Amino acid sequence: QQVSVEVLEHLEHLALVDFRDAEGVERLQKAIQFADQLHEVNTDGVEPMDSVLEDRWCLYLREDDVTEGNCTKELLENAREKVEEYFVAPPGNIPLPKLEERETFLEGS
């Protein structure tokens, strides 16, 4: 199933993911193909579940005991980018290519 330029643009803005390269488009198409398989499953007469654990009357929780700590330095070593003692997340408004640029890329894929 082909993915239109408009759908790509909408998904990029929702997920903040860039699908400009062929690998990104291919990964998206494989995900759509996988999801399409769900249409083949017969769910007639199957009631929707509220929870995967709905057959249990009570969920047993363990005590929340701290077993280790003071590892800020080690955790921040995993950060691609940090400011002071904080992880820096990607910006919410990443610049995306113009619609015309995307159309020419999709024609080649």
Q: What is the pLDDT of residues 29-48, one digit of tens each?
A: 888 888 888 888 898 998 88
Residue 19: burial class (beta carbons within 10 Å; 0-12, 13-18, 19+): buried
Please tell me which residue, 76 or 51, carries the higher pLDDT value: 76
Instruction: State what percent of residues in the chain have pLDDT above 90.
Output: 2
Residue 6 lies in a domain: yes
Question: What is the per-residue pLDDT for 30?
Answer: 86
Residue 20 lies in a domain: yes
Burial state string for 34-48 with b = 16 or more CB within 10 A and e = fewer than 16: eeeeeeeeeeeeeee
Residue 28 lies in a domain: yes
Q: Which residues span the domain enclosing 14?
A: 1-41
Question: What is the per-residue pLDDT for 107?
Answer: 61
Q: How many domains does the chain have?
A: 1
Considering 8-17, 49-58, 60-69, the range whose residues carry the highest mean pLDDT is: 60-69
Residue 102 lies in a domain: no
